[in-house]
Amino acid sequence: MSESALPPNDKEMTLVQHLLDLKTSLTRGILAILVFFLCLFPFANEIYTYIADPLTRYLPQDTSMIATAVASPFLTPFKLSFVLAIYLAMPFLLYQLWRFIAPALYSHEKQLVAPILFFSSFLFYAGGAFAFYVVFPLVFGFLSTTAPEGVTVATDIAAYLDFVIKMFFAFGMAFEVPVVTVLLILTGMVRADKLSHARPYIIVGAFVIGMLLTPPDIISQTLLAVPMWLLFELGLLVGAYVVKKRVQNSEEEEDEEFYHNEDDYNAAQAKKSASEQSSNSVNTATAKKASDEPEIEFDDRYADQVDDDLDWDDEFDRIDSEMQKLEREYDERTKKKQDSDKPENANSPKPDAQDKEPQESASETGDQSKNEPSDTTDSKKP
């Protein structure tokens, strides 16, 4: 890894250092869970009685919860204490996770960690509390009245605990929707306006998730889907506001960098306000002058004969296309004429060669004529 790929003021870590850091974080997280478990296990039965209260209050008289397995009276409170220890240690576990990935984050990314840790933990606990204090009484009150006549409602303690844990995690994770929405907007993966356009799909998806994670009744499904939708709207508003605030801060920083000192900045602002006032005064005077001038009456007797619906842009485009067509036809004709002239020039004889051949024949004839008289004179001599 190159130095340029690292966050500022950070150094590259070896694989062994990363593994040691991971070991430290895991060890601290396990120790935190054990501490909470040791504190909660002595009160496991009392805690289970409190957790089972939303169901036991709606059970018929002379009935109670039962334990069908041999080890359920011991293992069920034990499991409840362990799961509750994880619930309570969740903020510390998230902090250890952030501590492990912090060296790979930039300063502006680290600024988001503290709010995310706080709101994610708060919303997770809020989801569990909403399920326990709002959803459970309504669901168990409805289900206890639907039992057929002659059927005794006696819920197993292990099955009830599994149901409670599932609902706690479902509502806790569902309440994390605003955190996820804000992160998607801040990281630039999705814009706020696109998410707002996808609102119908979000609502349908919330009801589908509620159908999958809740018992088969319309009450619990609606009580999970509606809060998810409202929390999505909250995250959408918060994300859009944060992005707008960031844009304003970046513009202010650019202005401060452009103007070296405060006096120049103030002078520019004063000049800007003065120019705006002068432009407003000029516009006011122009409007007043225009209002004072008499209105010009146009001759509209032949207005009904004018095609006002004519699209002049399309008309100019049509003229332009016709001119281009004419130019192409002219170029094609010129090219054809040039191509037809080339073969005629190639078949015509070369003038130099034709002139040269008669000259050569004439020169040969002259030489022969010169030689003949010379031979005659030579023969006449003794």
d(CA 220, CA 136): 8
List pLDDT tens digits, range 154-181: 888 999 999 899 888 888 888 888 888 8
Res 382: pLDDT: 31
Q: Please indicate, yes or no, if residue 316 is contained in any of the structural domains.
A: no
The boundaries of the domain holding residue 170 are 15-254
Residue 220, C-beta contacts closer than 8 angstroms, at least 6 positions apart: 135, 138, 139, 210, 214
Residue 180, C-beta contacts closer than 8 angstroms, at least 6 positions apart: 235
Burial of 327 (0-12, 13-18, 19+ CB in 10 A): exposed
Q: Please indicate, yes or no, if residue 147 is contained in any of the structural domains.
A: yes
Q: In 10 A of CB 32, how many CB atoms?
A: 20
Q: Please indicate, yes or no, if residue 332 is contained in any of the structural domains.
A: no
Tell me how many domains the chain contains.
Answer: 1
Q: Please indicate, yes or no, if residue 329 is contained in any of the structural domains.
A: no
Contact between 243 and 192 under an 8 Å Cβ cutoff? The reply is yes
Q: Which one-letter DSSP state was computed for residue 8?
A: T
Point out which residues pair with 66 in neighbouring strands: 156
How confident is the prediction for the chain on average, in pLDDT? 76
Residue 322: both structure tokens together:
């016709």
Residue 102, C-beta contacts closer than 8 angstroms, at least 6 positions apart: 110, 113
d(CA 89, CA 340): 93
Point out which residues pair with 156 in neighbouring strands: 66
Contact between 92 and 29 under an 8 Å Cβ cutoff? The reply is yes
Res 169: pLDDT: 87
Candidates 56, 299, 262, 55; CA nearest to 167 is 55
Distances (CA, A) of 205 to 148, 182, 192, 227: 33, 18, 18, 13
Residue 62 pLDDT level (bands cut at 50, 70, 90): confident
Rank 115-119, 252-256, 301-305, 311-315 by mean pLDDT and report only the highest: 115-119
Tokens 């009456």 locate to 297
261 versus 265: the higher-pLDDT residue is 265
Residue 323, C-beta contacts closer than 8 angstroms, at least 6 positions apart: none
**Does the structure show a pLDDT above 50 at 365?**
no
Res 381: pLDDT: 41
Res 214: pLDDT: 78
d(CA 270, CA 174): 51
**Mean pLDDT of the region 236-260:** 74
Distances (CA, A) of 218 to 54, 155, 214, 221: 19, 21, 9, 5
| Half-sphere exposure for 132 (CA within 13 Å, toward CB) | 16
List pLDDT tens digits, range 281-306: 656 656 555 555 555 555 555 555 55
Q: Please indicate, yes or no, if residue 323 is contained in any of the structural domains.
A: no
Residue 373 pLDDT level (bands cut at 50, 70, 90): very low
List pLDDT tens digits, range 70-113: 888 899 999 999 999 998 998 888 888 888 887 777 777 777 77
Give the rounded distance of the alpha carbon of 93 from its chain centre.
29
List pLDDT tens digits, range 1-42: 444 444 445 567 777 887 888 888 899 999 999 999 999 999
Contact between 77 and 48 under an 8 Å Cβ cutoff? The reply is yes
SS (H, E, C) 241-284: HHHHHHHHHHHHHHHHHHCCCHHHHHHHHHHHHHHHHHHHHHHH
Q: Please indicate, yes or no, if residue 365 is contained in any of the structural domains.
A: no
Tokens 């842009």 locate to 313
Mean pLDDT is lowest, of 113-127, 200-214, 355-369, for 355-369
Q: Please indicate, yes or no, if residue 237 is contained in any of the structural domains.
A: yes
Helices 113-130, 157-174: inter-axial angle, 10-degree rounding = 140
3-state secondary structure of 10: coil
Contact between 63 and 152 under an 8 Å Cβ cutoff? The reply is yes
Res 247: pLDDT: 78
Contact between 110 and 8 under an 8 Å Cβ cutoff? The reply is no
**Does the structure show a pLDDT above 70 at 227?**
yes
Q: What is the four-CA torsion angle of 34, 39, 43, 44, rounded to 10 degrees?
A: -10
Residue 358 pLDDT level (bands cut at 50, 70, 90): very low
First to last CA, the chain: 118
Rank 45-59, 254-268, 361-375 by mean pLDDT and report only the highest: 45-59
Nearest 5°: the CA angle 95, 97, 99 is: 70
Q: Please indicate, yes or no, if residue 65 is contained in any of the structural domains.
A: yes
